[in-house]
């Protein structure tokens, strides 16, 4: 990805507002700043692309000029290609349509909610609309979806490694 406008030239380091060019320092600053924004409260929405973008913008606004903006490049992870960027809007519209059709999964038992939410979140993950920060944004999207449907989700109980494994 040498032509990735999100990266500093000849590096794999994301351009950032702090000018950090060390991967560890960038990761640490990103986590601290996103956690501070999370503590302020989160924007709500209709579980569509605009909602996902608002969450991402809120979390990463202190770190990236492109927070909340759709990615400009194709990306993959561990050999798995995410949705082509030209289909991001279509992919999220489909996930949103399915949520609307099921009344945002309200009234389902905990087990039925989990069974219905899993494929939708899997598709949102496949869409992967942002250059970075998709997993954290999706986790908060899921938390809000759970709350709207009447189910609690304690994020402290979600192990980061398990979340990454489930995303795969």
Tell me the per-residue pLDDT of 40-63, one tens digit each, with 9 for 90 and over: 999 999 999 999 999 999 999 999
Asked whether 44 and 144 are in contact (CB, 8 A), the reply is: yes
Query: Other C-beta atoms within 10 Å of 14: how many?
Result: 21
Cα(84)–Cα(166) distance, integer angstroms: 21
Longest pairwise C-alpha distance within the chain? 51
Q: Residue 89 sits in a domain of what CATH number?
A: 1.10.3290.10
Is residue 18 assigned to a domain?
Answer: no
Is residue 7 assigned to a domain?
Answer: no
Structural domains of the chain, count: 1
Report, as an integer, the average pLDDT of 129-142: 95
- Enter the pTM of the model: 0.91
Is residue 79 assigned to a domain?
Answer: yes
**pLDDT-based confidence at residue 1 (cuts at 50, 70, 90):** very low
Those residues whose C-beta lies under 8 Å from the C-beta of residue 6, and which sit 6 or more positions away, are 14, 15, 66, 71, 72, 73, 131, 132
137-152 pLDDT per residue, tens: 999 999 999 999 999 9
Q: Angle at CA 35, nearest 5°, toward 23 and 17? A: 45
| Helices of type H across 4-153 | 23-39, 49-60, 88-101, 110-127, 134-148
Is residue 135 assigned to a domain?
Answer: yes
| Residue of 108, 127, 126 lying closest to 117 (CA atoms) | 108
Is residue 4 assigned to a domain?
Answer: no
Confidence at residue 160, expressed as pLDDT on a 0 to 100 scale: 67
Is residue 99 assigned to a domain?
Answer: yes
Q: Which residues span the domain enclosing 73?
A: 23-167
Report, as an integer, the average pLDDT of 77-84: 93
Is residue 160 assigned to a domain?
Answer: yes
Asked whether 15 and 65 are in contact (CB, 8 A), the reply is: yes
């Amino acid at each position: 990805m040498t032509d990735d406008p999100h990266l500093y030239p000849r590096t794999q380091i994301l351009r950032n507002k702090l000018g950090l060019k060390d991967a560890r320092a960038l990761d640490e600053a990103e986590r601290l700043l996103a956690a501070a924004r999370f503590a302020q409260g989160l924007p709500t929405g209709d579980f569509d692309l605009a909602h996902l973008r608002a969450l991402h913008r809120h979390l990463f606004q202190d770190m990236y000029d492109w927070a909340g903006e759709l990615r400009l490049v194709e990306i993959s992870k561990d050999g798995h290609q995410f949705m082509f960027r030209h289909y991001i809007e279509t992919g999220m519209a489909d996930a949103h349509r399915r949520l609307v059709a099921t009344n945002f999964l309200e009234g389902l038992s905990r087990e039925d909610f989990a069974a219905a939410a899993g494929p939708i979140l899997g598709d949102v993950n496949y869409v992967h609309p942002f250059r970075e920060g998709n997993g954290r944004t999706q986790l908060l999207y899921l938390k809000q979806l759970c709350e709207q449907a009447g189910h609690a989700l304690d994020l402290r109980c979600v192990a980061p490694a398990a979340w990454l494994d489930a995303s795969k």
